[in-house]
Amino acid sequence: MNKKMMDMLVCPIDKHFPLEIFEVKSKEESVEEGVLYCTQCSRFYPIIEEIPILLPDDLRDKKQDMDFLKNHQEKLPEKIVKQASPWHL
Ligand SMILES: [Zn+2]
């Protein structure tokens, strides 16, 4: 995901803008793995293999989200790993 996309991405639940970004793995202007975070509703959205996965709760893949948090918990802030909606570790 090119970081310039941050200018267009809004939270799918409450349309909040801008989202915060936390990079786990990035290359110059491109984020390969990371998290988008909405400070209004505390939801996190993973960026996996360059793709930001901005889906409403009922379409989210809980197992994928939990595996993602487990794999990257060392590199992400506690407000995401331990407190984010719709689920956390
Ligand atoms: Zn939100």
pTM attached to this predicted model: 0.96
Average pLDDT per consecutive 10 residues, the chain (89 residues; last block may be shorter)? 96 98 96 98 98 98 98 97 98
pLDDT of residue 20: 98
Tokens of 20: 């915060």
pLDDT of residue 58: 97
pLDDT of residue 63: 98
Tokens of 53: 């996965």
pLDDT of residue 40: 98
Domain ranges of the chain: 3-81
Give me the amino acid identity at 27: K
Distance 6 CA to ligand 1 centre (A): 14
38 — phi, psi (to 5°)? -100, 115
pLDDT of residue 7: 97
Q: Where are the beta strands (DSSP E) in the chain?
A: 20-27, 30-37, 44-48, 51-52
Distance 43 CA to ligand 1 centre (A): 6
Distance 85 CA to ligand 1 centre (A): 9
